[in-house]
């Protein structure tokens, strides 16, 4: 019996090749898209789960509750966690820390940076990283030893067999040789631990002032005892903070500093997709984007299944006589249902095989495009065989249930008495129309969303950031270059380069996630406000191209314009002149920029209050992503705090300017690599994820439209075939080809027009929620939705018109001889 069912199914597919190709091809595309997104979502959700005991390892994250500032979450935590957390909670088995940074070495005669981490002696007891050479017990026995990854060992020694070899690291007086005491296997890409080289931390060398709660230069990882409850520790952390974070005296008044810091244990496997990404070792993921991709993939699959059902029911009506004869010969309704479900499962199986082939071909390309390491495995915990089998069964059953029950209920007497080879029951056409309408609603929604995403991405990349991005170069890691008398000579050398019009220094690079916050008290106020602090030089405002709104800029000839050298007390006694931005003036309570000029505010960061006279107010600058609000900031001439150099050029070739800057850098900093980028490129990179999301939406939109058009074309072909005699009679009675085409096109265009009523409100709501994640955003006008609807309608008309035109041109004699 089963062999007979299979033979019938394959015979029917061979007899209707076009129908089979469209039905199976559309379903295969939907299944392939769903499996690709499934693989990506699972990859993003698997971060750090490969580590031994990953379920017992947690990262300590910090939430800052500073006055006048929204709460901010970071992956860093205070130094005291390492020394005092194990004594406060018996559930803690071990704690370790990792302080990220960079060091310098020489490769092929050129200095290069290496990303490094400084860790405790018990680091590998908490994080069981795999060793290729050496072991956790023998790695990092002292502060003269280092651990490398295999990739880093090959870069420096040409081989991964580096155990016991020497590597010279550092620059200037700190340069010395280290012994390799361990080689780690290359970590997979699905990890939040960005490690190339590890040092051992020397606790004895850390001064007392850096061992308290104010040192947030490291991440802490906690390993809990088996069966321990992390929620209980999180519940007890507020009380622990009050016991261990001492109160301070600010402006002669006691301040409870523990209220400004909230600590929390976060599972290591949840760090990558967690809400806290500031201070992370590697870029984090976006769970909302993952959820969006999953929904889009399921919608595309739903479209393919709708096509499957639509075409199956349309073709099934032509099998009325076959069903009637089978029933007359004794077939039960249950047997017919099994037969038709079997045919559906055969088609789904063929579609799944094609989908898996597409996944195999597309996965390496997608993996390389997004910088991931997505691999295909069919067996094991990460195997794709079970999900693929589940999708096959679901789509096969969903696609076959309705046609099976619909076909099996035909009554033999009615079919055979009327001599019908086909039959159409009331309501069946409306059902197919509803499915077409849903399909195009999904397609229109995806097209409109793609339009909004691309428009918003273009807008935030081109909107005025408050400073001049064009013709600006940023040189980072200039902590030695930017300080002292060396910079004065380098400054003159850079200005001598043709095309360079100015150079300046600042404490923070563009797009940095670091936010040095100072507490500032306006005149006559009782409460402090939090402002971001930028240490710059006197040329900063002019070189960066920041507009002055009121007052004046900095002047090197005025002593108070420079932060005085010496301790904090000296600064508090003398005071300093500062410049603030428009947002800071508003936050400090000044109604206009001019009203802030000459006012004295008092500012502090962990020391005494410094009287600060506002001498200028400048326009707001957007140094970070447009997703973040403009930060209220103040600027002070503080060259000792700078470590970034900005260079302005005009009327010269960018490549030649960059090469000349490199020569100047090599002259003054031969031991430090030259790391410079055009600011336009930095700003462009900020929105790479949004562009990738837009490309994915565009791809799925095209896929959705293609699937919809395949179904629409098949339904049009089916309908015109059934209406051949009607068309012939219309032509005999005087109807023109144009009239016939209009009649058929309108029949299939109507559900596409109605689809807008479903697509527009849903897409508008989704895009409004997405745009709300930006501080600045485009207006959500009807234009993208109307254009998406018109585009879908035009595609639908083009799809149906060709088939309709062919039928309308048929000789009516042949049409009347039909059947």
Q: Rounded CA gap, 290 and 39, in Å?
A: 11
- pLDDT for 363 equals 85
Q: Which helix (H) or strand (E) holds 712?
A: helix 688-722
Q: Rounded CA gap, 620 and 631, in Å?
A: 8
> Does some domain include residue 801?
no
Instruction: Assess whether pLDDT exceeds 70 at residue 17.
Output: no
Instruction: Assess whether pLDDT exceeds 90 at residue 457.
Output: no
- pLDDT for 472 equals 95
CB-based contacts of 586, cutoff 8 Å, min separation 6: 632
pLDDT band at 796 (very low <50, low <70, confident <90, very high): confident
CB neighbourhood size of 256 (10 A)? 11
Q: Rounded CA gap, 673 and 650, in Å?
A: 25
Instruction: Assess whether pLDDT exceeds 90 at residue 336.
Output: no
Q: Per-residue pLDDT averaged across 142-164, rounded? A: 92
Instruction: Assess whether pLDDT exceeds 60 at residue 39.
Output: yes
Q: Judge if 95 and 40 occupy the same domain.
A: no
What is the per-residue pLDDT across 90-140, written as a single tens digit (0 to 9) for each? 999 999 999 998 899 888 778 888 989 999 988 999 999 999 999 988 899
**By three-state DSSP, how is residue 141 classified?**
coil
Q: Judge if 579 and 517 occupy the same domain.
A: yes
Where in the sequence is the domain holding 349, given as residue range(s)?
A: 1-47+285-425
What is the per-residue pLDDT across 400-454, written as a single tens digit (0 to 9) for each? 776 667 666 656 555 555 544 444 444 446 766 777 788 888 888 888 988 898 8
> Does some domain include residue 768?
no
Task: Give me the torsion for CA of 45, 48, 53, 59, rounded to 10°.
Answer: -100
Q: Judge if 29 and 79 occupy the same domain.
A: no
Instruction: Assess whether pLDDT exceeds 80 at residue 767.
Output: yes
b (16+ CB within 10 A) / e for 171-180:
beeeeeebeb
- pLDDT for 596 equals 94
Q: Which of 195-204, 405-414, 549-558 has the lowest mean pLDDT?
A: 405-414
Pairing of strands 145-149, 131-133: unpaired
Token pair belonging to 74: 């970071």
CB neighbourhood size of 685 (10 A)? 12
Q: Rounded CA gap, 500 and 228, in Å?
A: 61
Q: Per-residue pLDDT averaged across 526-544, rounded? A: 90
- pLDDT for 255 equals 63
> Does some domain include residue 436?
no
Q: Judge if 537 and 667 occupy the same domain.
A: yes
- pLDDT for 424 equals 46
Q: Judge if 122 and 234 occupy the same domain.
A: yes
- pLDDT for 150 equals 94
Q: Which helix (H) or strand (E) holds 63?
A: strand 57-64
Instruction: Assess whether pLDDT exceeds 60 at residue 365.
Output: yes
- Domain tally, the chain: 3
Handedness of CA 237, 240, 244, 245 (dihedral sign): positive
More confident residue, 19 or 147: 147
What is the per-residue pLDDT across 641-700, written as a single tens digit (0 to 9) for each? 899 999 999 988 999 999 999 999 999 998 899 999 999 999 888 888 778 777 777 877
Q: Judge if 259 and 406 occupy the same domain.
A: no
Instruction: Assess whether pLDDT exceeds 70 at residue 752.
Output: yes
Backbone angles phi, psi at 637, to 5 degrees: -75, 105
> Does some domain include residue 797?
no
Token pair belonging to 238: 């507020």
- pLDDT for 542 equals 93
Instruction: Assess whether pLDDT exceeds 50 at residue 214.
Output: yes
- The residue among 247, 270, 293 that closes a domain is 270
Instruction: Assess whether pLDDT exceeds 90 at residue 339.
Output: no
More confident residue, 397 or 220: 220
- The residue among 629, 662, 686 that closes a domain is 686
Q: Which helix (H) or strand (E) holds 255?
A: strand 253-255
Name the nearest CA neighbour of 711 among 18, 120, 4: 18
Token pair belonging to 4: 């007979």
- Specify whether the CB–CB gap between 609 and 540 falls below 8 A: no
Token pair belonging to 306: 């709708």
Q: Rounded CA gap, 346 and 341, in Å?
A: 9
- The residue among 404, 425, 446 that closes a domain is 425
Q: Judge if 582 and 549 occupy the same domain.
A: yes
Q: Per-residue pLDDT averaged across 191-201, rounded? A: 91
Instruction: Assess whether pLDDT exceeds 80 at residue 819.
Output: no
Q: Judge if 536 and 628 occupy the same domain.
A: yes
Q: Judge if 8 and 91 occupy the same domain.
A: no
Q: Judge if 567 and 622 occupy the same domain.
A: yes
Q: Rounded CA gap, 817 and 805, in Å?
A: 20
- pLDDT for 665 equals 93
Q: Which of 343-357, 727-741, 749-763 has the lowest mean pLDDT?
A: 727-741
- pLDDT for 16 equals 62
> Does some domain include residue 276?
no
- State how far Cα 804 lies from the chain centre: 45
- pLDDT for 425 equals 43
Mean pLDDT of the chain: 82
pLDDT band at 10 (very low <50, low <70, confident <90, very high): low
- pLDDT for 154 equals 92
Token pair belonging to 219: 């991440």
- pLDDT for 497 equals 95
Half-sphere exposure of 336 (CA within 13 A, CB side): 25
Q: Rounded CA gap, 170 and 197, in Å?
A: 13
Enter the DSSP assignment of 560. G
> Does some domain include residue 784?
no
Q: Judge if 356 and 222 occupy the same domain.
A: no
Token pair belonging to 197: 């080289």
> Does some domain include residue 795?
no
What is the per-residue pLDDT across 268-322, written as a single tens digit (0 to 9) for each? 999 988 888 888 888 888 888 788 878 888 888 888 877 777 766 666 556 666 6
Q: Rounded CA gap, 201 and 101, in Å?
A: 13
- pLDDT for 422 equals 44
Instruction: Assess whether pLDDT exceeds 50 at residue 187.
Output: yes
- pLDDT for 818 equals 47
- pLDDT for 426 equals 44
Q: Judge if 254 and 294 occupy the same domain.
A: no
Percentage of the chain lying above the pLDDT 90 cut: 30
- pLDDT for 559 equals 87
b (16+ CB within 10 A) / e for 568-596:
eeebbeebbbbbbbbbbbbbbebeebeeb
Beta bridge partner(s), residue 580 = 617, 634
Half-sphere exposure of 525 (CA within 13 A, CB side): 18
Q: Rounded CA gap, 30 and 352, in Å?
A: 10
**Would you say the pTM of this structure is higher than 0.85?**
no
Token pair belonging to 731: 């032509």
Q: Rounded CA gap, 553 and 636, in Å?
A: 10
> Does some domain include residue 512?
yes
């Amino acid at each position: 019996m089963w062999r007979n069912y299979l033979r019938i199914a394959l015979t029917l597919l061979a007899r209707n090749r076009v129908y089979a190709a469209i039905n199976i091809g559309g379903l295969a595309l939907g299944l392939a898209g769903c499996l690709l997104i499934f693989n990506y979502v699972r990859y993003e959700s698997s971060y750090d789960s490969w580590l031994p005991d990953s379920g017992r390892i947690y990262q300590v994250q910090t939430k800052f509750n500073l006055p006048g500032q929204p709460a901010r979450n970071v992956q860093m935590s205070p130094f005291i966690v390492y020394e005092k957390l194990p004594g406060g909670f018996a559930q803690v088995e071990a704690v370790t820390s990792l302080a990220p940074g960079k060091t310098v070495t020489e490769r092929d005669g050129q200095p290069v940076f290496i990303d490094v981490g400084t860790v405790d002696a018990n680091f590998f007891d908490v994080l069981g990283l795999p060793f290729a050479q050496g072991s956790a017990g023998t790695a990092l026995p002292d502060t003269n030893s280092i651990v490398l990854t295999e990739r880093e060992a090959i870069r420096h020694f040409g081989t991964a067999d580096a155990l016991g070899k020497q590597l010279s690291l550092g620059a200037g007086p700190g340069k010395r040789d280290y012994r390799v005491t361990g080689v780690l296997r290359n970590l997979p890409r699905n990890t939040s631990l960005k490690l190339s080289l590890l040092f051992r931390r020397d606790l004895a060398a850390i001064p007392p002032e850096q061992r308290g709660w104010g040192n947030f230069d490291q991440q802490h990882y906690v390993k809990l005892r088996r069966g321990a409850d992390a929620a209980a520790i999180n519940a007890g952390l507020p009380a622990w903070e009050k016991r261990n974070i001492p109160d301070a005296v600010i402006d002669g008044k006691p301040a409870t500093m523990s209220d400004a810091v909230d600590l929390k244990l976060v599972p290591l496997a949840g760090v990558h997709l967690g809400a806290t990404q500031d201070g992370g070792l590697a870029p984090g993921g976006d769970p909302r984007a993952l959820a969006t991709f999953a929904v889009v993939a399921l919608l595309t699959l739903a479209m393919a299944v709708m096509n499957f059902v639509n075409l199956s029911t349309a073709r099934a009506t032509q099998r009325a006589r076959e069903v009637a004869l089978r029933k007359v010969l004794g077939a039960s309704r249950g047997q017919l249902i099994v037969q038709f479900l079997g045919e559906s499962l055969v088609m789904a199986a063929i579609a799944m095989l094609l989908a898996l082939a597409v996944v195999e071909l597309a996965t390496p390309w997608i993996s390389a495009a997004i910088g991931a390491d997505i691999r295909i495995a069919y067996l094991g915990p990460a195997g794709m065989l079970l999900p693929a089998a589940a999708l096959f069964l679901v789509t096969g059953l969903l696609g076959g249930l309705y046609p099976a029950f619909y076909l099996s209920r035909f009554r033999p007497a009615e079919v055979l008495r009327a001599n019908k080879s086909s039959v159409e029951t009331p309501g069946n056409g409306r059902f197919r129309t509803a499915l077409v309408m849903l399909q195009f609603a999904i397609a229109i929604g995806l097209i409109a969303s793609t339009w909004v995403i691309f428009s918003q991405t273009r807008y935030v990349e081109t909107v005025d950031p408050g400073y001049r991005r064009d013709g600006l170069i940023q040189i980072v890691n200039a902590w030695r270059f930017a300080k002292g008398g060396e910079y004065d000579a380098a400054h003159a050398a850079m200005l001598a380069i043709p095309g360079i019009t100015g150079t300046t220094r600042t404490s923070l690079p563009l797009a940095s996630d670091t936010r040095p916050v100072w507490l500032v008290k306006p005149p006559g106020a009782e409460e402090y406000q939090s402002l971001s602090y930028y240490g710059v030089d006197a040329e900063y405002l002019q070189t960066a191209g920041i507009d002055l709104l009121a007052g004046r800029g900095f002047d090197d000839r005025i002593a108070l314009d420079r932060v005085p050298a010496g301790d904090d007390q000296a600064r508090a006694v003398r005071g300093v002149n500062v410049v603030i931005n428009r947002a800071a003036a508003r936050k400090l309570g000044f109604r206009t920029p001019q009203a802030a000029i000459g006012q004295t505010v008092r500012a502090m960061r962990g020391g005494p209050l410094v009287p600060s006279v506002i001498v200028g107010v400048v326009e707001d600058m957007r140094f970070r992503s447009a997703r973040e609000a403009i930060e209220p900031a103040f600027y002070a001439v503080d060259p000792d705090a700078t470590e970034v150099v900005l260079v302005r050029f005009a009327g010269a070739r960018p490549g030649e300017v960059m090469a000349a800057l490199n020569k100047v850098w090599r002259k003054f900093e031969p031991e430090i690599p030259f790391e410079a980028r055009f600011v336009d490129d930095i700003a462009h990179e900020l929105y790479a994820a949004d562009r990738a999301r837009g490309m994915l939406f565009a791809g799925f939109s095209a896929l959705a439209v293609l699937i919809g058009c395949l179904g629409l074309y098949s339904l049009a072909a089916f309908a015109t075939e059934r209406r051949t005699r009607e068309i012939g009679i219309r032509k005999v009675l005087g109807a023109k080809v144009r009239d016939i085409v209009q009649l058929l096109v309108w029949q299939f265009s109507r559900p596409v027009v109605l689809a807008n009523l479903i697509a527009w409100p849903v897409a508008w709501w989704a895009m409004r929620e997405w745009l709300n994640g930006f501080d600045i955003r485009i207006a959500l006008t009807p234009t993208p939705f109307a254009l998406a609807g018109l585009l879908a309608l035009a595609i639908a008309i083009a799809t149906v018109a060709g088939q309709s035109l062919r039928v309308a041109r048929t000789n009516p004699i042949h049409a009347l001889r039909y059947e």
